[in-house]
Amino acid sequence: MRYSAFRIFREGLTGNKGWKPVWREPDPKPEYDIVIVGGGGHGLATAYYLAKEFGMRNIAVLEKGWIGSGNIGRNTTIIRSNYLLPGNEPFYEFSLRLWEGLEQDFNYNAMVSQRSILNLIHTDAQRDAFVRRGNAMILAGADAELADADQLRAELPFLDFDNARFPIKGGLYQRRGGTVRHDAVAWGYARGADSRGVDIIQNCEVTGFDIENGRCTGVQTSRGAIRARKVAVCVAGSSSRVMEKAGMRLPIESHVLQAFVTEGLKPVIPGVITFGAGHFYVSQSDKGGLVFGGDLDGYNSYAQRGNLPVVEDVAEGGMAIMPMIGRARLLRSWGGIMDMSMDGSPFIDKTGIDGLYFNGGWCYGGFKATPASGFCYAHLLARDEPHPTATQMRLDRFISGNLIDEKGMGNQPNLH
Amino acid sequence: MTQKNRISGGQIDRTRTVAFTFNGKRMAGHPGDTLASALLANGQRLVGRSFKYHRPRGILTAGSEEPNALVELRSGAQQEPNTRATTVELFDGLAANSQNHRGPLEFDLMALTDLMSPFLSAGFYYKTFMWPRAFWEKLYEPVIRASAGLGRLSMQDDPDSYDKGFIHCDLLVIGAGPAGLSAALAAGRAGARVVLADEDFTPGGRLNAETHAVDDMAGADWAAQAVAELAAMDNVRLMPRTTVYGAYDHGTYGALERCTDHLSDAGGKPRQVLWRIYSKRAVLAAGATERPIAFGNNDRPGIMLAGAVRTYANRFGVTPGQEVAVFTNNDDGWRTAADLLARGVAVPAVIDTRDAPAPIDLPGIRHVRNAAVMDTVGRKGLKSITLTDGQVIPADTLAVSGGWNPNVHLTCHQRGRPEWRDDLNAFVPGASLPAGMAVAGAANGALTLAAALAEGQAAANAQIEALGFTPAKTDAPRAEDEPSTCSAFWHVRESRKRAWLDQQNDVTVKDVKLSYREGFRSVEHLKRYTTLGMATDQGKTANIPALAIMAECTGKTIPETGTTIFRPPYTPIPLGALAGRARGTDFRPYRLTPSHNWATENGATFVEVGNWLRAQWFARPGEKGWRDSVDREVEMTRNSVGICDVTTLGKIDIQGRDAAEFLNKVYANGFAKLPVGKVRYGLMLREDGIAYDDGTTARMSENHFVMTTTTANAVLVFRRLEFARQCLWPNMDVHLISTTDGWAQFAVAGPNARNLLRKVVDESHDISNEAFPFMACSEITVCGGMPARLFRISFSGELAYEIAVPARYGNSMMDVLIEAGREFNATPYGTEALGVMRIEKGHAAGPELNGQTTAHNLGMGRMVSQKKECIGNVLSQRPDMIRDDAVKLVGVRPVNRAEPLTAGSHFVNRGETASTETDQGWMTSVAYSPSLGHSVGLGFIRRGDERMGEIVRAVNPLKGGETEVEIVSAHFIDPEGERLRA
Amino acid sequence: MIINHPLLGPRDAAEFIYLGDAALIDRPDWQAEDAMQQFHDYAYLRDNPAGPHRELWYHEQGDRSWLVVTRDTTTHEITDVQMARDVARSRGRDK
């Protein structure tokens, strides 16, 4: 069913009785060409691009709960490609370009809104680092713009310019950055994949891998065994737990990241704003809530909830740069499991087991990567070679020493 | 306006009148009123507009679960959007305005959207607004944004102050209703340290809203008596106006106390206090929330929850209307009819969905059995109701009761799942509670009074007994259990009209059915697709009925259908309160250097360096800009002598028999053989082989070393050393103390440095070049016997020393040094001149040691010993980290010497197009060198060490422009090091 | 969270800095034949269980002890706290 204003009009006249399920609820078949483990954003995008770009149809996406229940269902909705390193920047720029045509591509309004993202600068050294970054972005074909304090004062008068502990000295804009309605991304990909024949199977938990002679031939699930020529894992926060079933240890720790939203407010914040001297970033959703977040709690956790010190730390950061939000109220907080990798960058790679592929380690940055992650994973699965923008996202890079450490924090996942 | 709906009774102070305004209209109420009760007393039924369809809305509830009656409270910078009229305590001069409408509240232009509702069903926006692409951001989204949102922020800085506090207790009791009071009394009498917190300004909970008796007195009087008893106990802390909003790990709870929100003028006191409560045990007695029944046009002003109607009548002496019909599926709704009749309010009918006799005998009442309300009339205020049997009953108010939901929220904050109880048709707390928590009373499903009182006491007794207290042998307060049977009736199937579930977000029964039809069947999909429960009331009245309807669609039971996850906060918390005092210049503490006062008095401009405030330069009269000052400071230092406070560098005192070997393990280069009285430059790696920090370490005596670290890494290096000491080599005899704040340290640099110091250092210490050469160190005395330390080290490349004195003498020492330097024309210099000189000398600093570079990149690869055990040396040899074509640190200078350089520029070969593929490296640090008369830069460039003399382009597309630069040695000044050895 | 410090008693976790898997105590032998592989595994492949986890915390705002805390990563319940130095010695670490 193609969505359009006309369709809405017609359905509205007939009591909205004609809408069809956005995806089917098929039973699993005994065998697929490719089984994707994980029905989050990346898994669904992978299935979508496999079907649409690489002509594969005999695909299943297995989801242990409901689709979109992972980090695509709880994040701060930001898209951007303001990365520094050559191992990352071309990939994220590829992702941003896919975001830009996404809705027309899958006929679903995910509300991609290129409202801009701004990283505030508070010291000269920070400015130098952001100039390096901005130039790296432009060299990779992305957009970047350096703003000085006067320009920001004119554009964002509500920031604290006059009484700040860490005065604002400027900022690095990426005007093409912005926000997306996160759930709709999962639903749009699911709809697009389903309509191309992909079986999306919810409430189907993978309990084991069938591995014979170093080759993965299928999975065991809560709904029975499923054979597959290739098994593609992308389970984000559950990466360590799932890959352990295949006997693999990963350079990943699972950490909790809290995120927050306020009550709905009339428009106050135009784009995404990131504090450069504390842990705080914020945007405003189309519904009016201020969506914001900060730092990891900092300890390994699968509990999907955090603790108070971080809540307060984040609010302090917010009040430090925009004291007008003092009377906005925190409505909801939540905690997601971040698959924090050892250098803060992800993996899209084959494993040491034939037929078993891994996509993970997205840290707290997986949402913006969703389209490119799906595309590049699909590329790897279909052609058995990495997409040109994802050649460094390998599992063996810690052995070779080819690190992709954007923040320079080393093998300490909670600092990335 | 007169208080036309004021009736007798209630806990308000009728002797005093409080004036307030709503939308500018002057009204009056009494102390003890909420804004909602006062609005109702004044006959104001229409108070707001819904989020999506802008439907006219009135007051639904009498508590924090209110979805409709949201106002902008106060004005100017204190304007507080989305404030629930039902929880606002009335104060004199209160000004409130309705929100989310265009034009007057009565004639909201946006109400047109209601007419469009067939085309605006759940999720319609996912299916359109996609063509043409540019229109989404240019047209559709701005329109949607402008009409979405609710209240407005003032856009001004929040003028109020907020505090934070910490409380420790044996037992935290959450909720001061019957169960909570009973619990607090039991624990308080037994001597436990008790905190009793309640979100209301009058403790008592439903006791204040009902006419039940406890211990033979009116429930409200019993509550007041219990509160008085608790207030008299030293071991009990009563916290009214305090919402416990979150249950965190290990018995920690977050709570918000509203201190001055109920006052016209805070009098300079904090508005609110955010408490962190550390409890050994907790009793959750948060009560229950009544839920509505969904039927056609059930959102009109005048349609209220039955329990709320009782609250207004019994507690506030207000009837919401003159003819109040009741619609119920349970016994409790009947109490509304009984209480209203007792106060002389007309009750035209009680409509009970059950085919059963009246649970309460109300003579003369019109009891409509086995029926339901199907539709209503009265757009801006209810006029009549239409029943399923076609009867039309005139009424200006309809009290609806769909049963009660225990407030299980805090039991779920640590991912506990509630359990369904068929007899209550409600979720109750599950088995997995936050550690240390017990639940009592209505929150636990004990929905009747006697049961709640008994459970509260029993729960508290069990909790404190586990802590070693002996419970007092007192009977539970006496009360009756009222009739409380309830049927499972969620929505009126016969209704053709839209029936609201989530009134704020305008989610109707049809939306839930559409959600089902389109495959959004899991509860989380339902919530996300329809926005059910995402409004400011967090679905407190909406979620369970919606769940029941989804269960009907899927043919599953409600518990099989599931629940959404409750997360903190229980009710919304202002960000100002979460931040407390940490805002403005108090966001983080300032660390001041020992010579800060001296610097202030001598014209310093300061700069933030981490938490430190350091002198950046010292402007002199006639200098037109910072460059003038910095150039002069560099020139005066290089020509004569300059003085800089370098206290911020980390200082770690290392002592013990194994101290030398310890240093040998934590530094990449050798330290075991450092002679006493000598200083050595040390490079520290992370275990992953990346360069981490550098500095000097001085051997003061055989077993005593003094290490310096960079300012940025002072704390981190100390932490890592402790890790090495305690976890890696636990049997080493080595001890560490951070002495960063203990010693004030000054760099004295320049050709006259020794001459200056000779005037300060006591004569018994020979600091001649022979006796105290480059890299010497010594304990000395200055100024006639004051202990000090002297290190002959140089960051500037000049003959230089660092002299350290106890921190409290730091400010004086600055004076002494400057005074002694007067004859040499000594200058103080700040961080800018420091930076210029280190770039001229080619020393790596933060921009080069950025956590991504190796010793190999820095040109110090050979310093990393492979002949000893030390942190990082093994992994530093990974193949991709020692590649020949890696970037190397070099110096660059502009080919056209007049051109400036920009840090952050990237290097590209001549004749190549700048791109990620052709990127040769980047410029890390730049400075104008007054010594050389042109700009100089440091940077990493591919194979840089092999490309001396080559010319490349430094491109800076971010700012536009590029500069041709020549690759040169990073040592621009005195490459042979003759000056620093002079 | 509250960490029951063996010397100081219950302390708010906010006083501590978290490092991670207590296996970071077991630093490999730098002279081993396969030292590079061992150090890779040591530095990069840590335990990441959903359940009890032995992990290192540093009492930075306190007595500067490194502690080995056994904490369940699914519930945050802490069942054991030891001085890291004692653990290190018991695992054969010396000088």
Which residues in B lie closer than 8 A to residue C76 (C-beta atoms)?
249-250, 414
Residue B747's nearest CA partner among B821, B834, B683, B672 is B834
| B755 and B628 in a common domain | yes
Q: Which residues of chain C have pLDDT under 50?
A: none
Q: Is the pLDDT of residue B881 over 80?
A: yes
Which residues in B lie closer than 8 A to residue A12 (C-beta atoms)?
118-119, 121
How many angstroms separate the CA atoms of A335 and C76, rounded?
14
| B284 and B176 in a common domain | yes
Q: Which helix (H) or strand (E) holds A19?
A: none
Nearest-neighbour CA in chain A from B671: distance (Å): 25
- Please report whether residue A17 resides in a domain: no
Mean pLDDT of A189-204: 98
Give the one of A249, A251, A300 whose C-beta lies nearest to C53's C-beta. A300
Residue B382's nearest CA partner among B859, B60, B33 is B60
Residue of B nearest to C87 (CA): B727
Give the one of C14, C36, C50 whose C-beta lies nearest to A302's C-beta. C50
Determine how many CB atoms are found less than 10 A away from the CB of residue C61: 12
Mean pLDDT of B953-981: 96
Tens-digit pLDDT profile for residues B341-394: 999 999 999 999 999 999 999 999 999 999 999 999 999 999 999 999 999 999
| A321 and A257 in a common domain | yes
Asked if residues B381 and B304 have their Cβ atoms less than 8 Å apart, the reply is no
Q: Quickly state the pLDDT bin for A119 (edges 50, 70, 90).
A: very high
Site of tokens 């450092």? B674
State which residues form the domain around A328: 112-181+253-341
- Please report whether residue B666 resides in a domain: no
CATH code for the domain in which residue C73 is found: 3.30.2270.10
Interface contact B906-A139, CB threshold 8 A: yes
The pLDDT of residue B562: 86
Could you report the predicted ipTM of this complex, rounded to two decimals?
0.99
Interface contact B687-A411, CB threshold 8 A: yes
Mean pLDDT of B209-232: 97
Q: Does A245 touch chain C (CB under 8 A)?
A: no
Interface contact C66-B875, CB threshold 8 A: no
- Of all residues in chain C, the percent with pLDDT exceeding 70 is 100
Where is the domain boundary, A326, A341, A356? Answer: A341
Where is the domain boundary, A341, A366, A389? Answer: A341
- Please report whether residue C56 resides in a domain: yes
State which residues form the domain around B140: 118-145
Q: Quickly state the pLDDT bin for B676 (edges 50, 70, 90).
A: very high
| B137 and B110 in a common domain | no
Interface contact A131-B904, CB threshold 8 A: yes
Tens-digit pLDDT profile for residues A9-28: 999 999 999 999 999 999 99
Indicate the residue type of B248. Answer: Y
Interface contact B731-C89, CB threshold 8 A: yes
How many angstroms separate the CA atoms of B59 and B71, rounded?
11
Q: Which residue has the higher pLDDT, B188 or B1?
A: B188
Interface contact A251-C45, CB threshold 8 A: yes
Q: Is the pLDDT of residue A2 over 60?
A: yes
Q: Is the pLDDT of residue B133 over 90?
A: no
Mean predicted lDDT score pLDDT of chain B: 96
Determine how many CB atoms are found less than 10 A away from the CB of residue B481: 15
| A200 and A152 in a common domain | no
- Please report whether residue C34 resides in a domain: no
Q: Does A312 touch chain C (CB under 8 A)?
A: no
Q: Does A4 touch chain B (CB under 8 A)?
A: yes
DSSP secondary structure string for all residues of B379-390 = SSS--EEEETTS
DSSP three-state, residue B228: helix
Domains in chain A: how many in total?
Answer: 2
Q: Dihedral angle at the C-alpha atoms of A44, A47, A53, A54, nearest 10 degrees?
A: 160
The pLDDT of residue A366: 96
| A229 and A103 in a common domain | yes
Test the A interface: residue of B575, B928, B953 with most A CBs within 10 Å: B575
Give the one of C43, C58, C65 whose C-beta lies nearest to B687's C-beta. C43
How many angstroms separate the CA atoms of B848 and B710, rounded?
12
- Please report whether residue C29 resides in a domain: no
- Of all residues in chain A, the percent with pLDDT exceeding 70 is 100
Tens-digit pLDDT profile for residues A327-370: 999 999 999 999 999 999 999 999 999 999 999 999 999 999 99
Nearest-neighbour CA in chain C from A303: distance (Å): 5
| A243 and A263 in a common domain | no
Asked if residues A172 and A135 have their Cβ atoms less than 8 Å apart, the reply is no
The pLDDT of residue A356: 98
Interface contact C94-B731, CB threshold 8 A: yes
Tens-digit pLDDT profile for residues B717-754: 999 999 999 999 999 999 999 999 999 999 999 999 99
Q: Does C67 touch chain B (CB under 8 A)?
A: no
Asked if residues C40 and C51 have their Cβ atoms less than 8 Å apart, the reply is no
The pLDDT of residue B1: 54
Residue B832's nearest CA partner among B751, B926, B759 is B926
Tens-digit pLDDT profile for residues B298-318: 999 999 999 999 999 999 999
Asked if residues A251 and A398 have their Cβ atoms less than 8 Å apart, the reply is yes
Asked if residues B317 and B296 have their Cβ atoms less than 8 Å apart, the reply is no
Domains in chain B: how many in total?
Answer: 7
CATH code for the domain in which residue B628 is found: 3.30.1360.120
DSSP three-state, residue B214: strand
User: What pTM, to 2 d.p., does this model score?
Assistant: 0.97
| A266 and A144 in a common domain | yes
Mean pLDDT of A375-403: 98
Interface contact B688-C43, CB threshold 8 A: yes
Q: Quickly state the pLDDT bin for B2 (edges 50, 70, 90).
A: confident
Asked if residues B532 and B545 have their Cβ atoms less than 8 Å apart, the reply is no
The pLDDT of residue B473: 87
Q: Quickly state the pLDDT bin for B802 (edges 50, 70, 90).
A: very high
| A403 and A297 in a common domain | no
Tens-digit pLDDT profile for residues A130-178: 999 999 999 999 999 999 999 999 999 999 999 999 999 999 999 999 9
- Please report whether residue B796 resides in a domain: yes
The answer to whether the Cα torsion of B94, B95, B99, B105 is positive or negative is positive
The answer to whether the Cα torsion of B243, B249, B252, B254 is positive or negative is negative
State which residues form the domain around C50: 2-24+46-90
Residue of C nearest to B250 (CA): C1
Give the one of B254, B588, B846 whose C-beta lies nearest to A165's C-beta. B588
Q: Does B739 touch chain C (CB under 8 A)?
A: no
How many angstroms separate the CA atoms of C87 and C22, rounded?
9
- Please report whether residue A133 resides in a domain: yes
From chain C, which residues contact A within 8 Å (Cβ)? 1, 13-14, 18-21, 36-37, 40, 43-46, 48-50, 53, 55, 71, 73-76
Domains in chain C: how many in total?
Answer: 1
Tens-digit pLDDT profile for residues B512-563: 999 999 999 999 999 999 999 999 999 999 999 999 999 999 999 999 998 8
How many angstroms separate the CA atoms of B451 and B237, rounded?
25
Q: Does A207 touch chain B (CB under 8 A)?
A: no
Asked if residues B151 and B72 have their Cβ atoms less than 8 Å apart, the reply is yes
Mean pLDDT of B418-432: 95
| A189 and A107 in a common domain | yes
CATH code for the domain in which residue A100 is found: 3.50.50.60
| A100 and A32 in a common domain | yes
| A133 and A90 in a common domain | no
| A136 and A35 in a common domain | no
| A241 and A268 in a common domain | no
How many angstroms separate the CA atoms of B902 and B243, rounded?
53
Where is the domain boundary, A279, A308, A341? Answer: A341
- Please report whether residue A7 resides in a domain: no
- Please report whether residue A8 resides in a domain: no
Q: Which residues of B531-540 are buried (b: 16+ CB within 10 A; e: fewer)?
A: bbbbbbbbbb
- Number of A/B CB contacts below 8 angstroms equals 360
| B626 and B504 in a common domain | no
Nearest-10 crossing angle of helices A41-53, A366-383: 40
Which residues in A lie closer than 8 A to residue C68 (C-beta atoms)?
none
Tens-digit pLDDT profile for residues B12-68: 999 999 999 999 999 999 999 999 999 999 999 999 999 999 999 999 999 999 999
Q: Is the pLDDT of residue A285 over 80?
A: yes
Which residues in C lie closer than 8 A to residue B723 (C-beta atoms)?
19, 56, 58, 66
- Please report whether residue A1 resides in a domain: no
Mean pLDDT of A66-95: 96
Tens-digit pLDDT profile for residues B64-98: 999 999 999 999 999 999 999 999 999 999 999 99
Nearest-neighbour CA in chain A from C16: distance (Å): 11
Q: Does B140 touch chain C (CB under 8 A)?
A: no
Q: Is the pLDDT of residue B630 over 80?
A: yes
How many angstroms separate the CA atoms of B184 and B477, rounded?
12
Phi and psi at residue B879, to the nearest 5°: -55, -45
Residue B511's nearest CA partner among B56, B53, B57, B144 is B53
- Please report whether residue B567 resides in a domain: no
Site of tokens 């109607």? B309
Which residues in B lie closer than 8 A to residue A163 (C-beta atoms)?
584-585
How many angstroms separate the CA atoms of A230 and B792, rounded?
66
| B375 and B284 in a common domain | no
Determine how many CB atoms are found less than 10 A away from the CB of residue B384: 18
